[in-house]
Structure 1
């Protein structure tokens, strides 16, 4: 892509040079001020395209330690230089044309030759504009886009001069000077358009409509609560976008990362040649429940809570929960953690909130163990069957008993009616767990996994 940009810029530069030489030579030979003005214009084109070719080569260099956003603005600098040349050329052409209109008309000879040169110029400009626009659209290059606009105006201007020469051949001698004035007007118009675009890029003016388009694309992401800041600017062919988005603080970090990737891909699909910096800031939502807010506060402080209970009294909100702490911590150390958590909750929900915290030791989550002998396992199986024998539709399956450094851990699957609610399931499983712990004091944990009836035939054990 880089070589294609440089190639089309180089071809355009060489074409400008050849056209300038041809127009100058034949304009001086024939005495056509219109063609001489076109030669001057093509000379300025040659200088402008040479600068464009140089700027395109520089802008293609990657970002470095001194240019964190790359070298893309060199293309805008080149375009601004081209504007200065265009204004100068337009002024000189207008001056000479007005002087001829006010004085004696200058005789033009060999008009057919002038017409031939202009026709060739128009054809060359047509194919040059087509090539420049194609590559400019493909690469997003403002310098090549400016060149395409420039040479499109050249093509129109040459057409005007051609019409003027035709009128001269029919005796209207001042038509050549009038055509030159029209050429100057075309040049000024192209220079004004190009100048505004280049200046906007250099002063980091946001491209029109880009911010609203970004906002429209972000409407497809319900996780985005608000767009807090949008900053957009061009640097050559690259559109730099900086977004600060408010997202729900209840989102897991993995989902936030995934969301940022999805937004980046969406913007890059709809906005060409972009580099996107996206910052996601957690924000609370009005729809958050008090329970959600308390759990988020605890998670942000890296604390694990469970059995959260919220009690709304007539004039008081009471919150209680179990807080899991390292078993080796002293009471004083634990109290510091509890105070910190309760302070954060009151800062969120109000100082009047009543908070009761029950601390529990964190159960070891990494143990080494082994299966107990079969005779001991059978004892636990019989105990499990015994404590559920009074309910003929309840089934015990997949009993596993492991010995660890903390004590024995018993696992089992407990099949219960499918329509039983969670509260009833928990009560029933907890009843069986307590029965096992009371019958076997050396048991460290009992873990019952609830399944729904009917029990598959392959798993039935009695």
Structure 2
């Protein structure tokens, strides 16, 4: 960014020097020849010098970072510089046009085109072409409104100088009105350039989105997995960048970290195709048509910070019948726990329909933290042997057995393996049967946690 700023400032300074030399040359040649077209070009260049100086100052100001009063930075100052150039071009066009018409109406004007006049115009055209190409390239690379305006100004000078040259050639061959007609051509083209610059500047000042950018950004966002749709997209050009916000729809069943990941992926996708665009990504959770009743109930519980499990869904005579277990703090009074359960049930009916039958079973939440210590090795080994002996129903390879003593009793963790093609329901049933047998043999076990893995 700093390198771009230096490039823009150097380009503006070079433009000042070039414009100054051309203005002096055209002014001298215009006064010596009496050519309105040359004098008009000199006036155009003299005005350009003031405008380019203003552009240079504007670029310096636009490079300042954001502060407490300009939260988006100062890049709009460049657009104001372009607006000033617009006003100058249009005003100059009107003046030259009026003067040329007056000359044509009042009669013969003595214009003596000499070698200096022709030489200045030819050199001016060559220099203007070089500066237009250079500034246009830099303006596109740095996305500078002020330099783009300067490039357009040099482009108008090329055509204007060409009209002036043709007018002087006409005078040289005896057509005295040629100079005034050439000046009219200069005025018309300057006016056209001013109009085009005015349109671009007004679009920038009124925050008009660059053509095609809205569709391109929306398409990039929709290609990100998890994005269901784009609700809104607002863009506003600020100097070389485009700022704004985009609102996307995502499945409401996603966890918070999933939503955060999608937002990051959308930002990355937009940056990959449009590095100069900075958007705030907002999300709206929406229900999908293929959401199951269980997913919808789990989402309701998650929003209410209620832990539920063992959800059963039944279709009874065309109605939905739900039941689930709710876990609450074991020390909580029943009245408070019942209010939590009733709130969950009411929200479920609101979501699934008033005729939904729902029953909740309240049970104490087991403590998440228990102080403990490793049980004696012989106890652990005995439990491990019992687990291995009781394994059946496809459960194999009991390993990584750990046993800890806690205030609530023994807590035993172990790993086992089963055929990876076996369903979760079948594996769970076999593990439950295994643990039931072991707990009968070791009644001191308060919790037995088995982790099933696929056979290698």
Q: Please, what TM-score do these two structures have when normalized by structure 2?
A: 0.93
2:189 corresponds to which residue? Answer: 186
Alpha-carbon displacement from aligned partner over 1:124-162 (angstroms, at most 9, x marks no partner): 212221221122111111121111112111112112211
Given that residues 214 and 267 in structure 1 are in contact (C-alpha distance below 8 angstroms), is that contact kept between their aligned partners in structure 2?
Answer: yes
Matched, 1:233 2:255: no
Give runs of aligned pairs for residues 212-223 of structure 1, distance below 5 A: 212-223=215-226
Matched, 1:285 2:288: yes
**Closer, same or farther in 2 for the Cα pair 1:95/1:397, shift >3 Å?**
closer
Match 2:79 to one of 72, 76, 79: 76
Alpha-carbon displacement from aligned partner over 1:286-315 (angstroms, at most 9, x marks no partner): 221221111111112222221111111113
Alpha-carbon displacement from aligned partner over 1:76-129 (angstroms, at most 9, x marks no partner): 222111111111111111112112222333222242211111112112212221
- Cα RMSD between the aligned structures? 2.1
Provide the aligned length of Structure 1 versus Structure 2: 453
**Closer, same or farther in 2 for the Cα pair 1:381/1:113, shift >3 Å?**
closer
Given that residues 321 and 358 in structure 2 are in contact (C-alpha distance below 8 angstroms), is that contact kept between their aligned partners in structure 1?
Answer: yes
Q: Secondary structure at the match of 1:15?
A: helix
Q: Secondary structure at the match of 1:285?
A: coil
Alpha-carbon displacement from aligned partner over 1:227-272 (angstroms, at most 9, x marks no partner): 1111111122221122111111122222222222222222233235
User: Structure 2 CA distance, aligned partners of 1:424 and 1:9?
Assistant: 77
User: Structure 1 CA distance, aligned partners of 2:103 and 2:354?
Assistant: 88
2:108 corresponds to which residue? Answer: 105
Query: How much does 1:324 deviate?
Result: 2.0
Matched, 1:311 2:314: yes
Alpha-carbon displacement from aligned partner over 1:203-231 (angstroms, at most 9, x marks no partner): 22222222222222223124222211111
User: Structure 1 CA distance, aligned partners of 2:231 and 2:335?
Assistant: 42
Given that residues 222 and 230 in structure 2 are in contact (C-alpha distance below 8 angstroms), is that contact kept between their aligned partners in structure 1?
Answer: no
Matched, 1:258 2:261: yes
**Closer, same or farther in 2 for the Cα pair 1:429/1:212, shift >3 Å?**
same
Match 2:440 to one of 418, 438, 451: 438
Q: Secondary structure at the match of 1:305?
A: strand
User: Structure 2 CA distance, aligned partners of 1:161 and 1:48?
Assistant: 22
2:358 corresponds to which residue? Answer: 355
User: Structure 1 CA distance, aligned partners of 2:294 and 2:156?
Assistant: 67
Query: How much does 1:66 deviate?
Result: 0.9
Give runs of aligned pairs for residues 401-440 of structure 1, distance below 5 A: 401-417=403-419, 419-440=421-442
User: Structure 2 CA distance, aligned partners of 1:451 and 1:229?
Assistant: 45
**Closer, same or farther in 2 for the Cα pair 1:7/1:396, shift >3 Å?**
closer
Structure 2 residue runs without a partner (length 5+):
none
Q: Secondary structure at the match of 2:166?
A: helix
User: Structure 2 CA distance, aligned partners of 1:31 and 1:324?
Assistant: 98
Alpha-carbon displacement from aligned partner over 1:353-407 (angstroms, at most 9, x marks no partner): 111111222223333333222322233234334434x889855444332212321
Matched, 1:208 2:204: no
User: Structure 2 CA distance, aligned partners of 1:141 and 1:416?
Assistant: 66
1:459 corresponds to which residue? Answer: none
**Closer, same or farther in 2 for the Cα pair 1:228/1:430, shift >3 Å?**
same
User: Structure 1 CA distance, aligned partners of 2:455 and 2:61?
Assistant: 74
Alpha-carbon displacement from aligned partner over 1:58-85 (angstroms, at most 9, x marks no partner): 1111111111122122112221111111
1:373 corresponds to which residue? Answer: 376
Q: Secondary structure at the match of 2:366?
A: coil
Q: Secondary structure at the match of 1:91?
A: helix
Q: Secondary structure at the match of 1:224?
A: coil
Matched, 1:66 2:69: yes
